[in-house]
Structure 1
Amino acid sequence: MGLGTVGCVESYAALLRGIGPSNPNMRNEKLRGVFDGLGFEKVASVVSSGNIVFRTADDPADLEDRIQQALTAELGIPGGTIIRSHPELRALLDRDPFAGRPHERGSYLTVTFFKDRMRETDLSEFEDDPLTEVIGYDAEARAFLTVLDNSTPATPDFMARLEKSYGKDITTRTWLTVQRVVKKIEG
């Protein structure tokens, strides 16, 4: 599924990497201000970790770079911007990759979005971590799906390993956050 067609107004989610709401320049009102300044419509934030929804008829191929340049220039935010269209996110939810599994401490459902497609890899490289269950890679959403066990004092090292293997053009959200983003777009 593509990001949309130039000229058609489409809803999108910008998933911003490295947002710390305790930083005054990373608060939702400042982030929304950058998106408003770019001329996007119906700009709204979802939780305080860098999830902005908006509507635009702009060329989807340019959105990530354009938004990131504005965030860097206006707020000094160097992180990454990953865009997904409403149809892409809705289709991911509809596929229900976690098969109705509850999101709770012992089964913390996570989705790692890739700016581009995940390169071919042997997913078994993560099998040695007893606190991480790899669900798989959803090619249509360009997302890696995992279940983390946060019920023990030990911390899964999955995120650090994922970044080491794939670089920084990724960002992770909980399954609940993805659901909230879609609900906000549809609301």
Structure 2
Amino acid sequence: MTEWVALLRGVNVGGVTIRGAELRDVATSIGLDDARTVLASGNLLFRAAGARGDLTARIEKALSARFDYDARIVLVTRDEVAAAIAGFPFDEEDGERQPYVVFCLREQTRRALVDAAADLDGEVDPVADAPGVVYWNPAKGTTVSTPFAKVLAGRAYRETTTNRNLRTLRKIAG
């Protein structure tokens, strides 16, 4: 059995509200073991056998049916979360900045984000890449207004990425 983390996209913002208990119920109803949520309900931890693609499809289908929205998740292993934390290349103790990890559904998405960031001011939008993720370290209060924030908000990326603060990831990793 693999320890998985389902990172839900776009919940508890924009009108889609999913409570932790409801999310656990959905997970249990489709046979996921030891399901629990961390912090906001957009973070589901569970154990299951099976391929990533099959599990992703099963979870998205169940969420869509239960909550009547076009559910999208990024499914990663708990080890992949730990690797993303360990690889954070910026000063996570810098109280003036937000330590973000952008999880990408596809490798081409990750490459496109890194390419888009290459032409941006690295002081305004510090960005670095690693397998499956893009690290971003914007100044607090600018996470919706920097050039990279605007790239991330584009439709192509909204549907294929999800962001988590490094502090949230540390709680997920336990």
**TM-score of the aligned structures, taking structure 1 as reference length:** 0.78
1:132 corresponds to 2:125: yes
**TM-score of the aligned structures, taking structure 2 as reference length:** 0.84
**Residues 143 and 24 of structure 1: CA distance in aligned 2, closer, same or farther (over 3 Å):** closer
The whole-number CA distance in structure 2 between the counterparts of 1:29 and 1:157 is 37
Deviations 1:2-58 (A, max 9, x none): xxxxxxx01010000001179685111111111111111111101115000000112
The two structures, once aligned, show a CA RMSD in angstroms of 2.5
Aligned pair count? 168
Deviates most, 19-28 or 87-96 = 19-28
**Residues 16 and 45 of structure 1: CA distance in aligned 2, closer, same or farther (over 3 Å):** same
Q: 2:92 aligns with which of 101, 126, 129?
A: 101
Which position in structure 1 is the counterpart of 2:8?
16
Q: How far 1:59 sits from its partner (Å)? A: 2.4
**Residues 166 and 60 of structure 1: CA distance in aligned 2, closer, same or farther (over 3 Å):** same
Q: How far 1:162 sits from its partner (Å)? A: 1.9
Q: How far 1:157 sits from its partner (Å)? A: 5.0
Query: Identity over the aligned pairs, expressed in percent?
Result: 23
Please list, as runs of the form range in 1=range in 2, the aligned pairs for 1:11-160 lying within 5 A after superposition: 11-20=3-12, 25-98=17-90, 100-102=91-93, 104=95, 106-117=96-107, 118-120=110-112, 121-127=115-121, 131-134=124-127, 136-139=128-131, 142-150=132-140, 155-156=145-146, 158-160=148-150
The whole-number CA distance in structure 2 between the counterparts of 1:59 and 1:101 is 33
Where 1:84 maps in the other structure, the secondary structure is strand
Q: Is contact 1:108–1:174 with CA below 8 Å preserved after alignment? A: yes
The whole-number CA distance in structure 2 between the counterparts of 1:47 and 1:176 is 11
